[in-house]
Amino acid sequence: MPGTELFGAEERKEVADVLETGVLFRYNHDAQRAGHWKARDFEAEVRKITGAKYAHAVSSGSTAVITALAASGIGAGDEVIVPPFTFIATIEAVLFVGALPVFAEIDETLCLSAEGIRKAITPKTKAVCIVHMCGGMGDMDAVLEVCREHNLTLVDDAGQAFGASYKGKSVGLFGKAGAFSFDFFKIATAGEGGVLITNDEAVYKLADTYSDHGHSHVGNNRGMEPHPVLGFNYRIGEMNAAVGAVQTRRVPQVLAANRRHKRALTDALSKLPGVSFARLADPDGDSATFLNMFLPDKVSAQQVVAELNKAGVGGVNYWFTNMYHFINQWDHIKSMSTVSRLNVQLLGAPQDYANLELPKSQEVIGRLISFGIRCTWTDEEVQVLAGQISQCVEQALRPMRA
């Protein structure tokens, strides 16, 4: 968790600014806040990293995704193509704007493939929500070609990929709007927070209004502001934004360390028979928050995971059995267990979620093991970890080769 590795005096100073003024609210109270506008600072830092024309901070990565969908015009009854490998918030966001998720295949990039999207398109398809998983990025040239062919709106969920890019362009900027997460587990953290980015002024203005009960933010009297559209409360607070601004300034430093450590691990582990790695559509744009390693098949991957657990190796993720990131465990989605009725229950789901056939995704995630990269590792610690992983892989695969 790189962001949390680097908490220090700068974060404390920014938080103290907020506490000294007592203005925890991101809007208004101009005189009292003594020039401190932490949400604005946070947004400015995100624009610097991404090159986006507009950035809007909200309360979480989840609310960033739902705001991105809504501001991009996605709503009731629209079919939205989504991946089966993502944090569950992507699917929740589609459902809670009233749209209908359609699951499609991923490939070895760990993201939706152009072929998978193409096969999932129906006459009712309105949009694609691509998710850039585990620090990498989708194959955007191919994905954009399909979207253009079928006039589909693209929304960029880059919750796990802040700092990543594709051919020099930040993830999050390939669709009408993109979303990042700054929760406790990301490359930069606000504790809880998210940021929407876009190059479309109209989308930005809708996002700004939609995420604050429809407030226009025109004038200096909040109680008398116009409300051009309906919205809800997805605001970020100044305390979270203060931490997020500092953490975002640290990202270039984190990226450099992550990439160095990941390169060393990859070099060491690539010598192992049977080991390969997730495909990066643009290796130069990797945020390197994860080392994503493939074993030959699901059985061998599970045996390696068992050896890693036995050896006490930390930071290991086997997504195939993860409760929140892969469709196999989403029983509440399959049975559509909800607190209150959703559009998908009234209109009917476009797929039988309980009996989906996604063989490529099952094969890819079944043999995937991911390791979180720490930016504070020493070179010696990286080599020790590489040795531990190598030993566990060799131990697990030895009986299979016999």
Residue length of the chain: 402
pLDDT of the chain, 402 residues: tens digit per residue: 667 899 999 999 999 999 999 999 999 999 999 999 999 999 999 999 999 999 999 999 999 999 999 999 999 999 999 999 999 999 999 999 999 999 999 999 999 999 999 999 999 999 999 999 999 999 999 999 999 999 999 999 999 999 999 999 999 999 999 999 999 999 999 999 999 999 999 999 999 999 999 999 998 899 999 999 999 999 999 999 999 999 999 999 999 999 999 999 999 999 999 999 999 999 999 999 999 999 999 999 999 999 999 999 999 999 999 999 999 999 999 999 999 999 999 999 999 999 999 999 999 999 999 999 999 999 999 999 999 999 999 999 986 665
Question: In the 3-class helix/strand/coil scheme, how is the chain assigned residue by residue?
Answer: CHHHHCCCHHHHHHHHHHHHHCCCCCCCCCCCCCCCCHHHHHHHHHHHHHCCCEEEEECCHHHHHHHHHHHCCCCCCCEEEECCECCCHHHHHHHHCCCEEEECCECCCCCECHHHHHHHCCCCEEEEEEECCCCCCCCHHHHHHHHHHCCCEEEEECCCCCCCEECCEECCCCCCEEEEECCCCCCCCCCCCEEEEECCHHHHHHHHHHCECCCCCCCCCHHHCCCCCCCCECECCHHHHHHHHHHHHCHHHHHHHHHHHHHHHHHHHCCCCCCEECCCCCHHHCCCCEEEEECCCHHHHHHHHHHHHHHCCCCEECHHHCCCCEHHHCHHHHCCCCCCCCHHHHHCCCCCHHHCCCHHHHHHHHCEEEEECCCCCCHHHHHHHHHHHHHHHHHHHHHHHC
Domain range annotation of the chain = 2-250, 253-401
Q: Environment class of residue 30 by beta-carbon count within 10 Å: exposed (0-12), middle (13-18) or buried (19+)?
A: exposed
The answer to whether the Cα torsion of 89, 94, 98, 104 is positive or negative is: negative
pLDDT at 98: 98
| Helix 9-21, helix 238-249: angle, nearest 10 | 150
Top CATH class of 2-250 equals alpha beta
Rg of the chain (C-alpha set): 22
pTM of the predicted protein model: 0.96
Alpha carbon distance 46, 197 (integer Å): 8
Q: Which one, of 360, 373, 389, lies nearest residue 109 by Cα?
A: 360
The residue to which tokens 């194959």 are assigned: 139
The CATH number of the domain covering residues in 253-401: 3.90.1150.10
Alpha carbon distance 157, 172 (integer Å): 7
Pairing of strands 79-82, 125-131: parallel
Residue 148 CB neighbours (<10 A): 10
